[in-house]
Structure formats: C-alpha cells, structure tokens
Amino acid sequence: MNSQITFSSHRGYRFHQGLLASFVANSIQAVNFLGDRFLRKYHLSAGIEELYRHSMNAAFAEKEAFLVTGAPHASAYYPRDFAWFYPDVLDPETIMDSQDAVRRVRLLEKSVRLMLEAVRAGVVTTTIVPAGRNRYIGINYFSKPSDTLLGILAGLEQLLTAEQRPCSYLAMSQGAHAGRLLLSEYRADLKREILGLAGALQRFDDNGLSALLCDVSAPRSAATDTRAERRRFVTNACVYATFLRGIKLEVIERGELEQLLGRGLSQYKKELLLLFGRHGYVSHSLDSRAGTPVYSIALDFVNVHQGFWDLNDAAERALFAATTDFILAEPRFRVPDTSHFLVSADNPLNKLIHKIAAPAYQGRSSWPTFNVEFADRMLDYDECSGTQTYRAYACDILRDIRTVTETHGGYQELISEKGLKYRTWAYQSAVAHSWFPRFLTVWKRAFGTSLLGS
C-alpha cells in the first residue's frame, strides 16, 4: 500500500431528514439487522493477538466508507462513538504496521469529513444511515443528541494531534495536515452548532440548587440513549465536554461562550456537580426514583475520555470516589465472580423495540467499553490523588475483559448479566471491532506493557 495518502475531496453529500426519511432509514436498518442476524459468520475463540489482527482488518478495511462499531451496526454511522468508543484509533501503541496506519488515517479522515458535511447541512443527529450514492439520512431513534458534536470534535482532534504522538508512521503527519484543512474549512459550521447547543440550555432549580441543563423538559440522548429519561448526568456532562473541546480546538472563544451561558465554564461545571452530587454520590438522573444509592447510580457516570472529569479538585475526587465505592461494593452491579460491571442495577424504562431486540441493553448488561472507561477513570483518580486506591480494581476489570474477548472470539459490544454473549434476537453476538484499540491503550497504562505479546 502506498504510504502517500490521497484524501477524498468534497463529494456533494446530500442529507435528508423528516418522517418519510426516518421511515426509509428504519427500513434500511431492519434489513441490516436481519442480514447480520442470519448471514454473519462468527469468529472462533483464539488468542488475543490473532483476534486483534482480525478485528483491525475488519474495522479499517479499505472498502469501508466510514468508521463503524462492528456487527450489527456496520451499516449505520454514529458520530458520538468518536468520543465514547473510538478515542484511540490513532494511538501508535495500537497500530499493527504502516499499512494499518494508512488505513486508519484515511478512514478517520473520510468519517470526519462526512460528519462535518452533515453539520454544515444542519443535520446533527445520533445516527446517519446511507441511502444511496452520497445520500444519507439523519435520524434520532429516541431523542435529540447531547453528544454528537462532542464525537465530531473528538474525531477531528484525533487527526489534529496525530503527529504529536511519538511514532514513525508518515500517515500520522498526513492525517494532521488533513485535520488542519478540515478545521479551517468547517470551523464556522461547528461554532454555529456549539452556540446553538449552548443557547438551548435551560435553568433548572431544585431545593436551592440550580444549574443549566440540556434536558429539562425533554430527553436528550447520550451513549446510553435508549433510557428516554430527562435530567441525566451523562447527557449534561457531554455538553460540558463539548464546550471544553470546542475551546481547546479554537472553534469558539471561551469569553463568547461564557457570555452566552451567563457564567464561567468552571462555575457551570461546579453547579452540575452540586446538583447531581447533592446526596454525596453522582445521581444518574434527577428524575430517578428515591431509594438507596444503588438504584440512583449508573456506570456511564464515568463519561468519556478527556471529558467531564479532570479530578484535580479534592471535592470532585471525593464525589467520584463515593460513587465508585458504591458500585464496587454492590453485588447487583457485578456479573457474579467477575469484575464486569453492569450499566445499572435494574432495567430502566423500556420501549417495545427494546423488549424484542435488546431487553437489558441499558440495565442489567455489561458494556466492556464502559468498564474500560471505568478503569481509566480509576487510574486518573490514583494519578491525581497520588494514591494507589483503585489500580488493583482497574487491573481486574481489564483482565476480565481480556478473558471474555478470548473466550467469545472478539471484543464484545455487550455481555449478559450472567457473563455470556449477549444473545437477544437482534444482538445475537454483537462485536465491536473499532472499540478494541481503546482497550489496548488503557491496558498499557494500567500494566505498563503492551497487551499484544504479553
């Protein structure tokens, strides 16, 4: 493969929305899921190195038009994933060789360009479904997103910072150059949407505490979007992280944003922590039922890589530690005899589609990548506090994910509450090829050595 990457130019993408477009998109998705359910061949269990090479060849194949999770989502694109699940696509520690680097950079550039074209067209949705040559449908399955812009910014940032990592791949500098061109071309479009997101926030008051929320009156989705709940911590943490990344990439000026918010960004975050942490731990949702902490907490509080938590403040560390300790101590959060932690201790509200296709998707199931982020935030805590409070727990999580990956033949998207493959009708064996590199990055951080060859 030629190491000189030729990036795609503007190709006249067309984006569609509306009731008819959503019906077409849902029909396409149904066909995709049926095809995956009955036609996909499963990879047999093997050693971690063989599984990783198979996954990377599948995730970054030259024929792919966009970076996708894996089965059964291989025909629809989720911009949020670039923040939640794909933050280390260009980590040199996870790249197999120069050809792998070229494939990754090329596919990431194509993906980011398509998402930026959608932003320019005013299509900021949770899901983009291909509907013919250069035609795409933007749909929200359950609610407007809180984290789509965050994912787009995260994908763009990966390109921009590619050459800052110590590595010998020429593709990285080429990717960084492409990122700079994209940022220059689409900066105004991104700024417009960030200002729109900031302007949509509403003040919420509760027992003397107040904060600006994105979902006061209606749900907004984040990575665990099928809860269809209002006033969720993670959706609002995603908005804060979006503002922070927008400032970092110089898409928007801090002063302009803070003037619109009517408060400093640090005060905005402090108010969120006080509101959601009023009981001494991070409540999943302000609308969640009263009771013991176990029913008010969800694992997705760890948010995204380089997201809400920076853990430099003692009060923030105390809140994080209290929430973490509840999860570690509560058996209902854990797959028995493992360090796989479930999304929550019970199932939240389910719509009909979830009862058929994914009944435990947001409740009593384990997402390996949420567990990886849980481990990474634990390592953040220890680093910021100068202690060894959680490192052993983080290592246990990562070892168990390695075991289940080798046992089931690939990096799983979901694990059942019994620690088995997630075998619902639609998710017969959901694999997540593109999430695999993030696991390698956090493993190296925890153990100090590469997962491959260990």
Return phi, psi of residue 275, to 5°.
-70, -50
Task: Identify which of 447, 451, 453 has the alpha carbon closest to the alpha carbon of residue 439.
Answer: 451
65-74, 333-342, 401-410: which range is least confident on average? 65-74
Q: What is the reported pLDDT for 289?
A: 64
Q: What is the reported pLDDT for 167?
A: 80
Looking at the predicted structure, is the pLDDT value of residue 363 above 80?
no
Q: What is the reported pLDDT for 395?
A: 98
Looking at the predicted structure, is the pLDDT value of residue 349 above 90?
no
Average pLDDT over residues 114-136: 93
250-255: Cβ within 8 A, 24+ apart: 250/187, 251/153, 251/183, 251/187, 251/190, 251/191, 251/194, 252/190, 252/191, 252/194, 252/195
**Whole-angstrom distance, CA of residue 94 vs CA of residue 56:** 10
Report the SS3 class of residue 299. Answer: helix
Contact assessment for residue 153 and residue 251, using Cβ atoms and an 8 Å cutoff: yes
Q: What is the reported pLDDT for 1?
A: 42
Q: Which two tokens stand for residue 309?
A: 């938590």
Looking at the predicted structure, is the pLDDT value of residue 382 above 60?
yes
Q: What is the reported pLDDT for 225?
A: 62
**Whole-angstrom distance, CA of residue 420 vs CA of residue 32:** 24
Average pLDDT over residues 361-374: 88
Q: Which two tokens stand for residue 431?
A: 């694999």
Q: What would the pLDDT profile of 174-195 be if each residue is shown by its tens digit?
A: 999 999 999 999 999 999 999 9
Looking at the predicted structure, is the pLDDT value of residue 2 above 50?
no
Task: Compute the C-alpha angle 412/165/242, nearest 5°.
Answer: 65
Q: What would the pLDDT profile of 141-187 be if each residue is shown by its tens digit?
A: 778 899 999 999 999 999 999 998 888 789 999 999 999 999 999 99
Looking at the predicted structure, is the pLDDT value of residue 364 above 70?
yes
**Whole-angstrom distance, CA of residue 87 vs CA of residue 155:** 7
